[in-house]
Structures are given as C-alpha cells and as structure tokens.
C-alpha cells in the first residue's frame, strides 16, 4: 500500500492558506485539514470551561483530559469534542484572541502534532497551518509557503470583518520557542500580495499536477 501524500501549505496570517488549501484539495481530490481550526477548538473549549489560557500547565493538562476524536466529512477533517464539531463557535473574537497564546505552549503543540499526524488515516492530505512543513510533516516533498505584504493581509482581515494586529501576531508566531513560523526547507514560496485566490491556487495546482503526474 502506498503511503499517503501530504501537501503542506504554511504561511503568515491572512496569506490565503485556508482558501487556497481548500481549492487545491478540491482540484486534486485530496482531504483538506485546517490545523488552525484545531487550535481554535482548544481555545474555544478553554473559554467555554473557564480554563485559564494564560497558564500553560493548565492548558497542557486540558489536552490530556478532553475527549476528542477526528472525523472526515466531505473530504474535510474536523476535530470533535465530546462528539461535537464547534464550527461557528471557534470563529468568535474571544476564541481568536486566545489562539496565538495557547499555540505557543510546547505541550499543546506536541498534542496537536500527534493529532495532526493521525489525520493520515484519511488518505492523501492538503494540510495548512504554520508548522506543517517544518514540524508536523517535515518529511513531505510537497511544501509551500504563502505570504503577502502586511498592509494587504490587514486589508483582507478587515474585509472579513476581523480587526487583528497582524504585526504582533506575526511576531508571536515567529518568535515562539515551540515550532516557530518559518519557511520549511525546500518549500516553494509564493507572495500573493497582488494575486487573487484563483491565481494563487492555480500556481499550486499546476505545480502539483506536474509533480504528481495527475
């Protein structure tokens, strides 16, 4: 049996990772995994249960105790908590505010890495995040890193109705001790400041189809 293929799409906030990963997965028939949603699910769970997200030991203990499972629906992987998928709840402002803090905790990243690697059971993956090519699946031959100018990324966030200090987020992501945001060795870097999602995904899809012989 052939080992499943993993396509790693990393990058900065609002660089188009989610949109393009979904487009790529759909175009080539792979399963889509949003690792950011997994961190958001933990942040939501902590907020819901009044768990102090500023205490790494308490959050790490939560990872050991909460009842989670993975499911794949319509080629999208979801992290369930007690059998529930909090699709809308993880997109709230409260959840967003806590995500980058809990994502910096080494024990949290260890738990997430194990869970994310377990997604391979669903087959070939397009997995997007911030450390897929460097930490979660460093062995994959298919690595991409998306980026755009800070002003453009901030504009995109505002257009989505979200006000976030992306410069501060970039700094936290790149300077954390555990699996910091960086360009993976061998990754193809795409700056899409002046590109549409269709143009960006088109580049990725063309490259992958050629390399995978699709």
What is the mean pLDDT, run by run of 10 residues, along the chain of 214 residues?
88 92 97 96 96 96 97 98 96 85 93 98 97 96 95 87 78 80 93 94 96 90
Between CA 175 and CA 74 the distance in angstroms is: 36
φ, ψ (nearest 5 deg) of residue 140: -70, 150
What per-residue confidence (pLDDT) applies to 162? Answer: 73
What per-residue confidence (pLDDT) applies to 1? Answer: 47
Is residue 1 domain-resident? no
Is residue 126 domain-resident? yes
CATH of the domain at 35: 3.40.50.300
Range of the domain at 187: 6-212
Is residue 150 domain-resident? yes
Is residue 151 domain-resident? yes
Is residue 67 domain-resident? yes
Between CA 140 and CA 21 the distance in angstroms is: 16
**Count of structural domains, the chain:** 1
Q: DSSP assignment, residue 16?
A: S
Residues 6+ apart with CB under 8 A from 148: 12, 14, 15, 16, 156, 191, 192, 193
Is residue 10 domain-resident? yes
């Amino acid at each position: 049996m052939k080992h499943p293929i993993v396509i790693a799409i990393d990058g900065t906030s609002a660089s188009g990772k989610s949109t393009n990963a979904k487009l790529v997965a759909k175009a080539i028939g792979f399963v889509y995994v949003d690792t950011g949603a997994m961190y958001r699910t933990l942040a939501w769970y902590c907020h819901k249960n009044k768990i102090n997200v500023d205490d790494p030991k308490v959050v790490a203990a939560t990872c050991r105790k909460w009842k989670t499972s993975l499911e794949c629906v319509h080629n999208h992987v979801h992290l369930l908590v007690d059998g529930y998928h909090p699709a809308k709840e993880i997109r709230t402002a409260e959840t967003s505010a806590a995500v980058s803090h809990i994502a910096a905790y080494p024990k949290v990243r260890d738990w997430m890495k194990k869970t994310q690697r377990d997604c391979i059971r669903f087959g070939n993956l397009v997995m997007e995040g911030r450390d897929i090519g460097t930490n979660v699946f460093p062995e994959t031959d298919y690595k991409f890193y998306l980026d755009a100018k800070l002003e453009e990324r901030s504009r995109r966030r505002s257009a989505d109705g979200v006000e976030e200090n992306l410069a501060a987020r970039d700094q936290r992501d790149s300077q954390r001790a555990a699996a910091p945001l960086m360009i993976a060795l061998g990754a193809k870097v795409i700056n899409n400041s002046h590109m549409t999602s269709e143009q960006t995904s088109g580049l990725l899809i063309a490259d992958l189809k050629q390399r995978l012989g699709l």
